[in-house]
A and B are shown apart, each in its own frame.
Chain A
């Protein structure tokens, strides 16, 4: 099967500011992707370009094999739920559901109404009168019930409590199992979603700094702690992504895998080895970039 999304050297420039810098990636069908990164990293800009809501300054982009701009073949297969979505002032919840039904070919009305109950959303309430969390729930309901072959959620759960978020994850996985489709989840709550993701793309400062299967990433880095006099020689030649001194001790995060021999050696030296979680890894990687830039400036 061909890729759902194929992006080459995508760039978006605002005046002299490069929001997205020559980004290339592809998304395979029926996987759940995480588009992760700090706020302002360029995630939302990328998603807006994928859906032809913003124009790229340069680069190539194919969604379902075609350009998305003014293309109903593409757009009818895409549902993009974003945090900043604004509905017409007079709209009620029911108006959004009715309209969605006419816009998304795979819309499942019954499912939408069952989700409405799950999230306890009043059908006749005006959207302006919804709480922040209810507003987010409505977006989630549209995104799930659209069953769009490419469904994008950009920070979909502002104002939702942990219970409602968990409900979203449950429903997403359930429905994805029954109706596989390509999903992009963009969020900064990496810990919460990381285990649902099959593949992770990390954007920092307009560039992709990581593009890998999330299971690979789970063992992509380790942390090592101990007396700095012992740790330091051990670290030579390794790719250090973070280092934190603590008195005579040091705690370092290192990219890569330890061979069984190295592991034994480290243990016999009395060094503490621990895995680095996806969230920690991303924090290390995105912080590192910032530090490097600040170092350049000074």
Chain B
């Protein structure tokens, strides 16, 4: 089913996608002429496949549950923000705060992601085939961030329990973020996630793992210079 944003209002498009009757409705949707519109495909709950033909604005796929969304273009700020489950595949680049606070699901970005990719992420798995900007995985709590390119300044600042895997260079690490040993458990996890992103050709041994030193988990005045 085709939903043309030149002919339909955003509310009608989202309403259609938010009100799926599994017995009656098609499971495949194509959104035409997104033209940078914001809040496309937000609050979806059903296991449906959506292809967005073009660039989108802020919060595409926000708070997604179960839906499988492919954007054939670039995405604005906060793609997949607070996603709970499902999958979002961005074929272009992503602006800042991609996957922010997301609790689950899978986000793949074929291009680069700007600053704060994975900020406060709470369980999502993010694979960025290009590079990520500064302050990525800031205060990230859980889940995995995999970057096949480089990472900008202050990677993983004030990190909690998210695992970060970087193939390229890291400009600098943020407070309490350190390089960690890659054991078999982590290699296996990375391998699975790369496979899920159809990046089987990449070698897990080329990645480095970063995580929390856990020194800032409980406030101590002696650590004040770290903040």
Tell me whether A and B are bound partners.
no
